[in-house]
Structure 1
Amino acid sequence: MQSVVTFEKPLPHLSLADWDARLYDLQVTADTRRADAFDLRHSARQLRNETRIKTEWDTYHNNNRLQARIYEIEQWISTIKELLDRIDREMNALKEEKASTERELEQLNMPLLVTSECLSNRDGRRSTELTYDLADTELKKELCVIESNKKMLIDRCQSAWEKINRLEVVKFKLQLDLNDKNEALQIDKDMVSLDKDCANITYKTNSLKTPNRMITNAQWLEKCEATRKMAVDELQDTLKLRESLFVARGKARNALRAQTDVTNYMMRRRVYDTQRARNELQWQKMKMEENMDKLSKDLKIMGEQFADKVNAMKVAETRLATRAYRPGIELAADEADLGLKEEVRNLRESIRQLQDKLDCAKATYNALEAASIKITIDLQDKEQSLDTDTRALEMRSALETKRPQGTDRNLVLAKVEDEVPKVDM
C-alpha cells in the first residue's frame, strides 16, 4: 500500500544517455556558433578596415588627382591670361601703328595736291616753253611715287584692319576658353573641399554615365595646345605686320623724300636753265637793238646820200638835156658832153648800188626787227615760265620738312625721343 501518490507527465522521458547526448550537442552547437560569430566579427572588422583604408586611399589619390588637375588648369589659365594680355598689347600697338599709317596716308594728300598743282601751273606755260623737260618728267614720277605710296599704305592699313579683326576673334575664343577653365577650376576646387561630412552630398542617378560630349584628356590637351598655337601664330604675324607697317611708312617717306629732292633739283635746274636762256636772249636783244640803232643811222645816212645822188643825177641830166638845144655846129660832142654822159652813167650806177644797198639794209633792219620781236615774245614766254617754275618751287617749299640730325636723328630712329627730357638752350 503506497502512502504518497505521484504523478508523471504524459510525455516520453529521456534517458540519461540521451540527456548527455543532447547536452553535448548543445555544447557543440554553441561552440560552432561562437566560432562562426568570431569569424564573422573578424572578417567584418577586416572588411571594415580594408574598405576604410581603400576609401581613404582612393579619396587621397583622387584629391591628389583633383589637385593636379587644378594645378594644370591654373597653369593653362595663367597661359591664356598671358596670351590675352599679349593680344591686348599687340592689338593696341597694331592700332597705334595703323593710326600712324593712316596719318601718314593723310599727309600724302598735301604732296599730291602740290604736285598736281605744280603740273597744272607748268601746263600754263606758253608757246615754245611748253616742253616735256626733266622737271615735268620728275613731277610725273613724283605723282606716280605718291600714288604708289598711297596704294601701299592703303593695302597695309587694310591688312592691319583684317589682322585686328582676326585678333578679336582669337581673343573671343581665348576668353571663352578662359571662362570654361575658370568654371571647371571652381568646380574642381569645390570638389576638393567636399568630404563625407558636408551637407550637400546625395545619391546621384546613374553617376557612372559618361556624358556624350566628354573627350579624352589627350584630346583636351590637343585642343588647348591648338588654341595656344593659334594665338601665338597670330601674335607672331601681328609682330611681323607691325614691322611691315613701320617699314612701309619709312619706305614711303624715303621714296617720296628722294623723289622730292630729285624733283626740286630738276625744278631748280630748269629755273637756272630758263634764267640763263633769258639772260642770253636779253643780251641778244640788247645787241640787236644796238645794231638796229646803228643800222637805222646808216639807213638815214644812205637815204641822204641817195637823195644827194638823185639831185646830182637830175643836175647832170638837166645839163645834158639843155646842151642838146645848142644851135648849129655848136651841138658838138665835146669834152663837157662826154664828161656829163660819163657822170650820168656813174651816177646811175651809184644810185643803183645805193638802192640795192638801201634795200638790203632795210631788209636787214626788218629781219632784225622781226628777230627782236620774236626774242621779245620768247623773253615774255621765258619770264612767264620762270614765274611759273618759281611759284612751283615756292609751293613745293611746303613739302620740305626740317630733318633731325645727329643725336636727334638717332632718337627719332630709335623711337625714344619722348623719353629723353627736353633741354632748354
Structure 2
Amino acid sequence: MQMIELKTVKARMESDWSDKVHTYNIDSLCVNLTNDSSLLLWRAGATRIPADQSTPTSYENFTQEALAAGESARQKSINLRSTLNKMYIESIKDLRHQATCVDVALAENVKLTQDCLQQLEKELLCCLNELASTEKLIEELRDSTKGLNNAMKLAQTRLDNRLNRPNVESCRDAVQFALIEEAKSLGEQTSAMLAELKRTEESQANLVKARGTLEHEIMVKRKTLYIDKERGQVLRSFFPSTTDLSGF
C-alpha cells in the first residue's frame, strides 16, 4: 500500500513538474518576444478566457497540495521503514533467543538420554550376570535331579531285589522299612528339586525377555542420542548469527 501511494504521488508530481517545465518554456519564449520578432502572427480569439483555466489561488492550492501529498507519502515511508526496522531487530532477537532455548533444551535432552543409556547398560549387565547365575543354577539343579534319580533307582532296585528272597527270608525287617523311607524321601526331594528347577527356568525365561527389552531400549536410546547429538547439535551449530540474520 505504501508503494502504491508513493508511485501515485510520484506520477502526480512528475505530471505537475512536466506541466511546469512546459509552462516555463512558453513563458520564457514570451519574455524574449519583441515587436521585431519573426514569430509574430495574427491570433484570432487569443483574448478569450477558457472556462477550465485556473486562477492564481487555485494554481497555488494545487501546487501546495501536490507538495504536501509528496511530503506526506515520504514521511509515511520513512516512518514505515523505521517501524519495520524495529520489528526486524526484535524478530532477530526473538529468533536468537529461541535458538538459544532450543540449544539448551537439546543439550539437556542429550544429557538425560546419556544418563538413561548408562542406567540401561548397567541394568543389562546386571541382567546378564543374573542370567548367567540362573543358567549355572539350572545346570546344578539338573545334575542334582540326575543324582536323586540314580539314588531312587538304587533304592528301588534294592527293594525289588529283596522282594525276591525265598520263603521266610522275605521279611519286613528294619532294612526294608529304611529303604522304603529312603525311596519316599528321595521322591519328595526330587519333586521339590523339579519344582525349584521349574521356577528357575521360568525366572530364566523372564530374564531372557528382560534382556531383549533392555537391548531394544538401549538400541533406541543410542539411535536417539545419535540423532540429537551427532546430527541435531551439529546442524544447529550452523544456525545463522545475528549478523547473518540481519542480511550483512
TM-score range (shorter-chain normalised) is 0.7 to 0.9
2:215 to 351, 376, 395: 376
- Superposition pairs of residues 201-216 of structure 1, within 5 angstroms: 205-216=44-55
1:297 aligned to 2:136? yes
Residue by residue over 1:221-267, the C-alpha shift from the partner in whole angstroms, topping out at 9 and shown as x without a partner, is 22112111211121122112212332343243233333323333333
Instruction: Write the distance in 2 (CA, Å) between the matches of 1:324 and 1:208.
Output: 165
Deviation, structure 1 residue 207: 4.6
Letter in 2 for 1:183: H
Residue by residue over 1:75-109, the C-alpha shift from the partner in whole angstroms, topping out at 9 and shown as x without a partner, is xxxxxxxxxxxxxxxxxxxxxxxxxxxxxxxxxxx
Aligned match of 2:11 = 172
SS at match of 2:54: coil
Letter in 2 for 1:199: D
2:79 to 226, 240, 247: 240
C-alpha RMSD of matched pairs (Å):
2.7
Letter in 1 for 2:151: A
Instruction: Write the distance in 1 (CA, Å) between the matches of 2:222 and 2:18.
Output: 77
SS at match of 1:326: coil
Residue by residue over 1:264-314, the C-alpha shift from the partner in whole angstroms, topping out at 9 and shown as x without a partner, is 333323322222221111111000001111112222222221111111111
1:398 aligned to 2:235? no
Instruction: Write the distance in 2 (CA, Å) between the matches of 1:269 and 1:317.
Output: 70
Return closer, same or farther for 1:242/1:396 CA change in 2, 3 Å cut-off.
same
Instruction: Write the distance in 1 (CA, Å) between the matches of 2:176 and 2:80.
Output: 114
Aligned match of 1:313 = 152
Instruction: Write the distance in 2 (CA, Å) between the matches of 1:226 and 1:400.
Output: 47
- Superposition pairs of residues 21-420 of structure 1, within 5 angstroms: 162-189=1-28, 191=30, 198-200=35-37, 205-390=44-229, 391-401=231-241
SS at match of 1:348: helix
Residue by residue over 1:135-188, the C-alpha shift from the partner in whole angstroms, topping out at 9 and shown as x without a partner, is xxxxxxxxxxxxxxxxxxxxxxxxxxx533442332232122123223334444
Structure 2: give runs of 5+ residues left out of the alignment: none
Deviation, structure 1 residue 385: 2.0
- Which has the higher relative contact order, 1 or 2, with Cα contacts under 8 A spaced 6 or more apart? 2
SS at match of 2:153: helix
Instruction: Write the distance in 1 (CA, Å) between the matches of 2:35 and 2:2.
Output: 51
Instruction: Write the distance in 2 (CA, Å) between the matches of 1:355 and 1:365.
Output: 15
Instruction: Write the distance in 1 (CA, Å) between the matches of 2:52 and 2:165.
Output: 156
Letter in 2 for 1:242: R
Residue by residue over 1:1-30, the C-alpha shift from the partner in whole angstroms, topping out at 9 and shown as x without a partner, is xxxxxxxxxxxxxxxxxxxxxxxxxxxxxx
Letter in 1 for 2:7: E
Residue by residue over 1:342-365, the C-alpha shift from the partner in whole angstroms, topping out at 9 and shown as x without a partner, is 111111111111101111111101
Deviation, structure 1 residue 387: 1.7
Instruction: Write the distance in 2 (CA, Å) between the matches of 1:359 and 1:377.
Output: 27
Instruction: Write the distance in 1 (CA, Å) between the matches of 2:106 and 2:118.
Output: 18
Residue by residue over 1:192-223, the C-alpha shift from the partner in whole angstroms, topping out at 9 and shown as x without a partner, is 566xx642367754454212321122211221
Deviation, structure 1 residue 392: 2.3
Return closer, same or farther for 1:360/1:400 CA change in 2, 3 Å cut-off.
farther
Aligned length: 244
Instruction: Write the distance in 2 (CA, Å) between the matches of 1:347 and 1:288.
Output: 34
Tell which deviates more after alignment, 208-217 or 365-374.
208-217
Tell which deviates more after alignment, 198-207 or 295-304.
198-207
Tell which deviates more after alignment, 240-249 or 316-325.
240-249
